[in-house]
Amino acid sequence: MNSSEPLSAGLKALPNKISSFASTQAAWRFYKNEAISLPLLQEPLTAEAHKSIKAHCTQYALCVHDWSHLNYKHHNKADTYAITHENDVGYDLQTSLILSDQNGQPLAPVAQRLVSSDGSYSTYGDRTLTEPAKSHLDEVSECISYLKEQNFSRPLVHLIDREGDSIGHIRRWEATGSNWLVRAKDNPKVDYKGKAMACKAVAQALKFTRTRQVNYHGKTYWQSVAQTNVTLTRPAKPSQKKVKKPAVPGIPVKAKLVVSRVLSEEGEVLAEWLLLTNMRKVGAATIALWYYWRWQIECFFKLIKSAGHQLESWQQESALAIAKRLLVVSMACVTVWSLAADKSKEAAELRTFLIKLSGRQMRHKKQFTNPALLAGLWGFLSMLEIIDAYSQEELDTLKATAQQFLGIVV
C-alpha cells in the first residue's frame, strides 16, 4: 500500500519491531519464488472484477485496453530493450481495465502483460514466459479471447484507442462475437451511402446534437454527437516493417460511426473523436460517454507511476519480478478505487481522515484524489501497526525523547 517517492521506491517496512532488512528479504523471497506465478497473483483481481461487475454494471462492463512504456535505464536490469528508439529503454506494459457502464468508475485490472527483451510475461495462459512478443493488437486479441472465457456476469465492451483501427483485427473480433469500440483514424475509408469515403469526410456530412457538458483541459464545455451506419470493406494491410506483405481482403463488417465533438461557447471545435463500434443498438451519446471514460486507464498508469507507486524507479532486477510486484500494487489501487466510490457516511469520514493524514493539498471544492487516499491509507496502516507493536509505556518514552529534541517543555 505504500506511496513511494522517486528516490525511495523500495518496499517500505511497516513500523513494527521487525527490521527493515527482514522485510526486504521477505519481499525478495516472495517475488523470487517460482510458485508465485502471475496467473496466481491475478486471481484476487479477477475475483474482485466479478464482484464489482455485478455491483456496479447494469448492461455491460467496459474493458479498456491500453499500453504504457516503462522507462528503465538502470544497469541492474539485463532484460530491458529499446522500445521505440535507442534512448527509450525499458519494458512495454499492456493493461486491460474494467470500468462501470454507469459512471466510468475503475473496478479492477483483469489482465496485464509485460514485454521484455526475453519475451512477454502475462497474467493469462499456461506459461509465464511466452514466445517472442507479438504486436499490440495481436496481444489484445489473445486477451479478448481469454476474457471471453471468464464468463463475467455482464457482456464486455472492449475499448481501444486509435491503434485499434485495424480492419484485420476488427474482423477477428467480429468472428468471436466480441463487442468493440475503437477510435478511428481520419483517412481510412468506410462505405457510406454507397460511396467509399474517409471517416473525416463522413463526419463533415453529419448533423450534430448537443448532449452534455464535459470537462476538457480543466474547463467545462458542451459535447455534441452525430452518428451513422457504415460498412467496413477495405482489405487488411499487415505490418510492412520486416517483410512486404500483400493486402488481405475480408468480409464486410457492419458498424456505426459516432462522431464526438467538444465545442466552445462560440462553436469552435476544440476536440473531435471519430468512433467505430459494432454496438449499433446503443445510442451515440452513450458511445461517446463510454469513450470519454476511457481516460480512466491513463489515471491508473499515473497512479502506479508518477503519482503513487513510482513504478519506473523500482529496483527489481527482471521483468518477471516487476510484473509480480505490479500485480500486488494493482490490488492497492483497487482498494483505493473501492473506497473512493463508496457512498456511505463511514467511507466519507474515512476519506476525510485519510486526506488529513496524507498532508496533501486539494484544489478548491475537491474533496480527495486517489493518490492522496493512497498516501493517507499507508499512514493509517502504519499508525495501526505502531499501536499493535508498542506498549503505551514505550510510546510515552519515545514521545518524551522526541519532545526533548524538539525543545518542547512539558
Sign of CA dihedral 38, 39, 43, 45: positive
Q: What is the DSSP letter of 167?
A: H
Rounded Cα gap, residues 68 and 114, in angstroms? 10
Residue appearing with cell numbers 471517416: 199
* Of the candidates 71, 84, 94, 256, the residue with the CA atom closest to the CA atom of residue 170: 256
- Give me the numbers of helices (H) and strands (E) for the chain, helices first please: 11, 13
Name residue 303's beta-bridge partners.
none
CATH number, span 20-314: 3.90.350.10
Rounded Cα gap, residues 389 and 387, in angstroms? 6
Rounded Cα gap, residues 49 and 97, in angstroms? 9
Residues 6+ apart with CB under 8 A from 72: 80, 89, 90, 91, 312
Element spanning 286, H or E: helix 284-293
Cell of 139: 496481444
Cell of 368: 480527495
Sign of CA dihedral 90, 322, 359, 352: positive
Element spanning 152, H or E: none
Cell of 331: 490490488
* Of the candidates 317, 325, 335, 324, the residue with the CA atom closest to the CA atom of residue 378: 335
The residue ranges of every structural domain in the chain are 20-314, 342-406
Helix H segments across 199-309?
199-204, 284-293, 296-304
CB 358 within 8 A of CB 1: no
Residue appearing with cell numbers 448492461: 59
Element spanning 409, H or E: none
pTM of the predicted protein model: 0.90
Cα dihedral 242, 248, 250, 253 in deg (nearest 10): 50
Cell of 325: 510486484
Instruction: Using CB atoms within 10 Å of the CB of residue 182, give its burial: 0 to 12 exposed, 13 to 18 middle, 19+ buried.
Output: buried
Ordered per-residue pLDDT tens for the chain, 410 residues: 676 666 555 666 666 666 667 777 888 888 888 899 999 999 999 999 999 999 999 999 999 999 999 998 777 788 888 877 777 888 999 999 999 999 999 999 999 999 998 888 999 865 455 555 678 899 999 999 999 999 999 999 999 999 999 999 999 999 999 999 999 998 889 999 989 999 999 999 999 999 999 888 888 999 999 999 999 999 988 765 666 778 888 899 999 999 999 998 888 899 999 999 999 999 999 999 999 999 999 999 999 988 888 888 888 888 999 999 999 999 999 999 999 999 999 999 999 999 999 888 888 888 999 999 999 998 898 888 888 888 999 999 999 999 999 988 77
